[in-house]
Amino acid sequence: MPQTIHKILIANRGEIACRIIHSAKKLGIKTMAVYSEVDRTSKHVLLADEAICIGPAPAAASYLNSKKLIQIAIANHVDAIHPGYGFLSENSTFAKDVTAAGICFIGPTPKAIERMGDKITAKNTVSQFEVPLIPGSSHAISSAQEAQKLAEKMGYPVLIKASAGGGGKGMRIVHEKAELPSAFERAQSEAANAFGDPSVFIEKFITKPRHIEIQILGDLHGNVVYLFERECSIQRRHQKVIEEAPAAISQDLRSKMGKAAVEVAKACQYHGAGTVEFIVDEHEDFYFLEMNTRLQVEHPVTEFITGVDLVEAQIRVAEGLPLSIKQEDLQIKGHAIEARVYAEDPFNQFLPDVGALDKYEIPKGDGIRVDDGYLEGMEIPVHYDPLIAKLICYGADRKQAIERMDNAINKYIIEGVATTLSFCQFVMNHPVFVSEIYDTNFVGNYFDPDQLSNPTDEELEVAAIFANFWFDKQKNKSTILQNTSSKWQNRGI
């Protein structure tokens, strides 16, 4: 039964809270922000129609205080709660409690969150459909001895992963038998600390993986569409820094992955915006990795190439309305790249560098979008993720998108904290990135801040040649990448 949402409480902070406010205002929906004591003057607080302090700075006492969030929502006659991403966005208990309080949860059902939130349960659910899975355990591993037996059966290297979480926490790559016991113990410990659950599982490690994800959108009437893919292989510490859409894949692979993602969504009766993540190897074989039952940080690149406002779509689905688009209506138009601007020092192992934004000026112009949560003079708190903003650039093609990103980074002024902007510009100018022939090993293979230098004219010429290669020459790419990688590794870059 459709219900009209008049007022949304945003159970989050920073740029995603601002992003949700933007779409809500466009729809004529009032917004209520919550904030911790340290976020009192934050941008999302200034933009919202109403704002209420949720508690002291630590997340556990503020943004993760689910009972207080619901109490505030009830007291202020809120129709719906949007969790954004992070914090409580994939907490099935929170979704259940919100619904029980008679408030609309803008997201999937608690059951869908439970089934896809646990990686082992997700793999077992997906295994019932024709969706490729990486070889690995179908249950939590109880001991290092059990892990060793499975590893020897699969062959090294293997990957130990936390069952309850992501973002690189509770994850260890094991290259040989002697490394496994200590890696297993560290993974369990980190998983317990990060997610309150020490469960880990083991799977075969793909040595040259590409991380490609499919954006899906479902409604309460059983309709599901996929909004194409995002390439998310530029990562540090198993966490994304740069994403782009579309990826350099064939139309055949795009179709297969899209259909597989729809199968995954239907397997858990999913509604709302979600992302099905895959690993793609150098032979174009793809494997289900996980499903994120929420909006993704990198959703703007999909919005650019499809013209779909994903937050607006989430709200409309939550109201009970059917999707306004069909699969045949969707087309890829142009190219978009997102650079995450973190308060991190890329020249010091990407460690956080929090402080005040002494000077803050964002770039503007055609095809440039900045989703941020800060204004000049504001402090980057130590209590939360150090993401300052997302810089998104769109072009008629990939070449124009890269050029716009490079120019936009030059115009982005941030003083007071170190940021990842210099790293992002390094990526934009690197021949391997320009060539589209890269994988998740990019940072380890090419980024050495101690020997960082600008490409020579000769190298830029090579990059230009690479940029003209299209994916129908895929059979040549492995050789090209191998030769290029050797050249740049010999330079120490």
Active site residues: 294
Query: What is the rounded distance in angstroms from the CA atom of residue 304 to the CA atom of residue 310?
Result: 10
Asked whether 15 and 372 are in contact (CB, 8 A), the reply is: yes
Instruction: Write the burial class of residue 8 (CB in 10 Å: 0-12 exposed, 13-18 middle, 19+ buried).
Output: buried
Residues 482 and 51: their CA atoms lie apart, in Å, by 54
CB 165 within 8 A of CB 83: no
Closest CA relative to residue 28, chosen from 6, 13, 11, 9: 6
| Contact criterion met (CB below 8 Å) for 291 and 214 | no
Range 247-255, long-range pairs (CB < 8 A, 24+ positions): 247/210, 247/212, 248/436, 248/437, 248/471, 249/212, 249/280, 249/284, 249/471, 250/284, 250/471, 250/472, 250/474, 253/280, 253/284, 253/286, 254/228, 254/229
Task: Please state whether beta strands 359-361 and 335-342 pair in parallel, antiparallel, or not at all (unpaired).
Answer: unpaired
Q: How long a stretch of residues is the chain?
A: 493
Task: Give residue 35's identity as a one-letter amino acid code.
Answer: Y
